């Protein structure tokens, strides 16, 4: 295991390692699968808004087991526009 930037842990595929007690590849592969399925609906996004679309996708991925409507209402109550 190689500790890279801050707490970035690496899995050594070249040594047939795909998981260890502190890191695995399934999390990022799951996220990118989710992101591709979500972003394909837009049939492309402008480069200058891609970051915002990706951040929204990250939020939805992290809250995918929650009712996003209720989560957003709670956030808006705490931080009104």
Rg (CA), the chain: 17
DSSP state of 67: -
Tokens 């939020």 correspond to 59
DSSP H or E stretch at residue 13: none
- Between CA 37 and CA 19 the distance in angstroms is 25
- pLDDT of amino acid 18: 56
Q: Smallest Cα–Cα separation from 2: which of 16, 26, 22?
A: 22
pLDDT digits (tens, 9 = 90+) for 35-65: 999 999 999 999 999 999 999 999 999 999 9
46: phi then psi, degrees, rounded to nearest 5: -60, 145
- pLDDT of amino acid 24: 60
């Amino acid at each position: 295991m190689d500790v890279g930037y801050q707490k970035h842990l690496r899995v050594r595929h070249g040594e047939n390692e795909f998981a260890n007690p502190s890191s695995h590849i399934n999390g990022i592969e799951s996220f990118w699968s989710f992101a591709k399925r979500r972003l394909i609906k837009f049939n492309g996004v402008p480069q200058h808004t891609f970051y915002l679309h990706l951040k929204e996708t990250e939020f939805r991925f992290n809250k995918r087991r929650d009712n996003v409507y209720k989560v957003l209402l709670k956030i808006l109550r705490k931080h009104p526009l």
